Amino acid sequence: MLIRKTVLIYFSLLAFLFSANAQNEAMSKIDIPDLTEYLTFIASDELQGRELGTEVDGLEITANYLADYAKEIGLKPAVENYFQPVPILHTALSTDDFIEVNNKKGKSVYRTEELVKLNQTPGVFSLDEEPVVFIGFGENLESLDIKDKLVVVAQGNAESFSGEEAFEWQNRVERAKMNAIMEKQPKAMLMITNPKDTENKTFKQLQGWMSRPGYSVKTDDVSAQPAVLLATPKVADALLGKNGQYKKYLEEVAAGSEAVSEVSETLSLKSGSEPELLEGKNVIAYVEGSDPVLKNEYIVFMAHYDHLGVGKDGDVYNGADDNGSGTVAIMEVAEAFASLEQKPKRSIVFLWVTCEEKGHFGSSYYCDHPIFPLDKTVASINLDMVGRVYDGPRDDVWKDSPKKVKDFDGLYTLSNDVWPELAEINAAHCAELGLVPDTSLPKERFLRASDHYHFHKYGVPILNYATGYHADYHKVGDEVERINFEKIKRVADLCFLVGFDLANKEDVEF
């Protein structure tokens, strides 16, 4: 019995030493010259900031670069040619929006082009001589039947209407109101700004925010979505038949009078334009696991490879840190795993996502159309800006941010609460590499701040690595010359160790 135990200990020790040696050899593939070469190309002026729709399609060039790299190092394509197409709708500025009030004889009594669409539903929305119903400030909705009706609602509420600064736009409050009204399934909703805002500051502010070219992911739902529109009090006055009548109506509502009011005038309007269909691409490759059962479970490494493109003045936003750094770190992690002679038990997926800067479109599309089942995804590890080290006073512009750029040893490591052991595994490997994990970021804010959100939304354990916001965040100064490649290597080393551990762990339960 003693001999048998000794033999078992010997072979266990031999297996451990073999595994450790294999890890070290694989990690040697993660090197600074490669990181520098890849990032110098990805963050070059020639790629025009890797934005969808630039004159030179740097986003497409980068996608091809990543796919060619994946093929070269021996990664398997998860989809044809490594590309998962992401259909993006681009809506240009509309030049012929209008809203028109018609009397009961069908004659126009007021017309204006001052109309803003507040929701991002693509396409043209139009109505012709539609009857309207006023619902005051949109309070006490429970008893209202507004299905298939065009409702007119006031900005703010009865209490704020009586205040000194009643015309100020409270975005969270107004969005909650919009959502509550839209749940009642009206034909459309027209919000009217506060009549006390005599200079139309709110309308102009929102017009500036919303009247820009828009992007959205094309969904499988082809049903028409109701529009949420914004107009000035002149429209409401015209509907009520007299200048100043809208203010009087709101004063009566605020004093407790009946809010619901149907009028004989009708509305005609048009807003929006037909979108252009563009194609983004997620690049997806993987190393297949070696265990016949566990290979059907997955660890996903993710980074977005897009950036902001070219400014109006012609300056190129190269995004070396955001997120060229995460993109190239994942490239090196992929090479390390691909080099292993004995592959890990679980499969390792490398997901470079598109259009994060437009609204996390690549990651949201992947999670809505997963190539590998999300319920079999053990963890999603997202890298977004991992290439900078605190650079003195220049970086103090973010001194009020909870995510100010870290020193050489610091690293933000954000996780959700789906599988608490993931944070413990991460902390152990950070200690092994001399990294100091900062887990203090407010989750209610930062779980939504990058591509990991969509995995989190579907209940997948997530880790997000970042070195923090710096003076060049979303500025033309985010260049390769300010990248600390040794820091990127340390983060990539951490990715490999955590990924290797997760891929070979016998029991994962969450």
Q: Domain 98-271: which CATH class?
A: alpha beta
Q: Residues of CATH 3.40.630.10 domain(s) within the chain? A: 28-90+276-504
What CA–CA distance (Å, rounded) separates 383 from 374?
A: 19
What CA–CA distance (Å, rounded) separates 27 from 489?
A: 10
Residues 6+ apart with CB under 8 A from 100: 108, 110, 111, 112, 267, 268, 269
Q: What is the pTM of this model?
A: 0.84
What the block records as the tokens of 357 is 């800067």
What CA–CA distance (Å, rounded) separates 175 from 172?
A: 5
pLDDT string in tens for the chain (510-residue length) = 555 555 445 445 444 545 678 888 999 999 999 999 999 999 999 999 999 988 899 999 999 999 999 999 999 999 999 999 999 998 887 888 999 999 988 999 999 999 998 887 778 889 999 999 999 999 888 888 999 999 999 999 888 888 766 577 888 889 999 999 999 999 999 999 999 998 999 999 998 888 777 888 988 765 567 889 999 999 999 999 999 999 999 999 999 999 999 999 999 999 888 889 999 999 999 999 999 999 999 999 999 999 999 998 999 999 999 999 999 999 999 999 999 999 999 999 999 999 999 999 999 999 999 999 999 999 999 999 999 999 888 888 877 789 999 999 999 999 999 999 999 999 999 999 999 999 999 999 999 999 999 999 999 999 999 999 999 999 999 999 999 999 999 999 999 999 999 999 998 888
What the block records as the tokens of 14 is 């031999």
Residues 6+ apart with CB under 8 A from 192: 152, 153, 154, 155, 230, 231, 232, 233, 235, 236, 246
Residues 6+ apart with CB under 8 A from 133: 146, 149, 150, 151, 152, 260, 261, 262
Helix (H) or strand (E) holding 180: helix 171-182
What CA–CA distance (Å, rounded) separates 236 from 214?
A: 28
**Backbone φ and ψ of 305, nearest 5°:** -110, 5
- Architecture of the structural domain at 28-90+276-504: 3-Layer(aba) Sandwich (3.40)
What CA–CA distance (Å, rounded) separates 467 from 478?
A: 14
